[in-house]
């Protein structure tokens, strides 16, 4: 099913490109050996054939004299090398579509990994239903075959979550090494090390003092800090962006496009954008994507699992998305909704399993006799 949907989305979104995708295409061409200037020129030539180039907001992007805010966007992607590197291996055969193929394959992998994660808490049939619900979630489907890092990062995040749970339960060195590996993969696809770190920190504070799980969670949190330091060192080496650089670019972009909040200075822009984005995430996105039922189920799942390791990991994961909200309040469907989706599906599946277990004939008849 996931493979079929991935193929469909690849064809459905075949002509859908964005300015971010243009930058990843440039990086892919550089990984193929082209110079910075040749890669820019060839990527621009391709982008001028797409519908994106005719969008008013993209006016002048793919010329020799793009707007300043678009020209300065390119360095923000220097610390995300793995996605274009993977696409570069497929590029000789598929051309620019290589970026979309990597995303579509990552979508399929994310669904499979979601199923494996759900097997922690549900029988195979219910886990499959949860994985299908995940596969059909708009936040996941919307980026299933776009030339962006989101789907590959999502697959790596689900893998990190599953491996972390395995490690916390077993404490084995093998799972510890696997956690470091998938966290490195996630971080160099998209700088989101705060997600597994938040999950590990949640496990540390949510488990009894002196328990093996708390000890393992402490080790995991320290290891993830080290992964973050490695990423920071790499970012410095390639002259990648810091948090201040990203926030400054977002503000300059909003000023250049005459965004209403930006007219009153950086701090007013950030505060009003943060507040409006937070409200939209809580209300509009849930309504637009019909996610209220899943969210309610997830809350019941969290209540049912309160005091457990899994509940602590889920809460830590959810709390970690605040980092994305603070650092980038303009892209919440991709930076908050998307990474929260596996956690919501996990908890909702637990709640659904509890509900179904109460509907078993023996429980119903037992309840009738006791009544």
Residue 20 has pLDDT above 60, yes or no: yes
The alpha carbon dihedral of 360, 361, 362, 363 has a sign of positive
44 pLDDT more than 70: yes
**pLDDT bucket at 92, cuts 50 / 70 / 90:** very high
Q: Per-domain residue ranges for the chain?
A: 2-358
Q: Where does 136-242 have alpha helices with state H?
A: 138-141, 150-170, 173-189, 194-206, 212-237
Residue 69 burial by CB count (10 A; 0-12/13-18/19+): exposed, middle or buried? middle
pLDDT digits (tens, 9 = 90+) for 56-87: 888 889 998 898 888 888 988 999 999 999 99
203: CB partners within 8 A, 6+ apart: 164, 168, 213, 214, 216, 217, 220, 309, 312, 313, 316
pLDDT more than 70, % of the chain: 94
Label residue 90 by pLDDT band (50, 70, 90).
very high
pLDDT average, residue stretch 32-57: 93
Q: Tell me which of 335 and 102 has the higher pLDDT.
A: 102
User: Which pLDDT score is estimated for 367?
Assistant: 39
Cβ–Cβ < 8 Å for 231, 187: yes
Between 107 and 286, the more confident residue is 107
- pLDDT score for 264: 81
pLDDT for res 222: 97
């Amino acid at each position: 099913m996931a493979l079929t949907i991935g193929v469909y989305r690849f064809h459905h979104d075949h002509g859908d490109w964005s300015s971010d995708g243009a930058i990843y295409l440039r990086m892919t061409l550089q990984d193929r050996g082209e110079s910075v200037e040749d890669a820019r020129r060839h990527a621009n030539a391709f982008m001028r054939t797409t519908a994106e180039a005719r969008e008013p907001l993209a006016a002048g992007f793919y010329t020799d004299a793009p707007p300043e805010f678009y020209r300065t966007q390119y360095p923000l992607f220097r610390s995300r090398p793995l996605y274009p590197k993977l696409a570069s291996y497929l590029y000789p055969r598929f051309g620019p579509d290589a970026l979309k193929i990597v995303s579509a394959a990552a979508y399929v992998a994310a669904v499979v990994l979601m199923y494996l994660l759900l097997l922690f808490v549900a029988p195979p049939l219910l886990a499959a239903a949860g994985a299908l619900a995940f596969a059909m979630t708009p936040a996941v489907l919307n980026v299933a075959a776009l030339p962006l890092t989101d789907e590959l990062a999502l697959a790596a995040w689900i893998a990190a979550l599953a491996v972390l749970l395995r490690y916390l339960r077993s404490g084995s060195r093998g799972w510890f090494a696997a956690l470091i590996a998938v966290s490195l993969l996630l971080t160099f696809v998209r700088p989101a090390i705060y997600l597994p770190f938040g999950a590990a920190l949640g496990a540390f504070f949510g488990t009894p003092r002196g328990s093996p799980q708390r000890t393992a969670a402490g080790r995991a949190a320290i290891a993830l800090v080290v992964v973050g330091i490695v990423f920071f060192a790499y970012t410095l080496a390639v002259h990648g962006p810091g948090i201040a650089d990203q926030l400054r670019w977002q503000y300059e972009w909003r000023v250049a496009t005459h965004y209403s909040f930006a007219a009153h200075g950086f701090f007013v822009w950030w505060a009003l954008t943060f507040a409006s984005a937070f409200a939209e995430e809580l209300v509009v996105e849930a309504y637009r994507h019909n996610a209220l039922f899943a969210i309610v189920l997830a809350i019941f799942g969290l209540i049912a699992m309160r005091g457990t390791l899994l509940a602590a990991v889920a809460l830590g994961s959810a709390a970690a998305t605040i980092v994305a909200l603070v650092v980038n309040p303009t892209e919440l469907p991709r930076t908050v909704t998307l990474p929260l989706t596996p956690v919501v599906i996990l908890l909702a599946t637990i709640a659904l399993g509890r509900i179904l277990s109460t509907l078993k004939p023996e429980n119903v008849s037992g309840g009738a006799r006791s009544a």
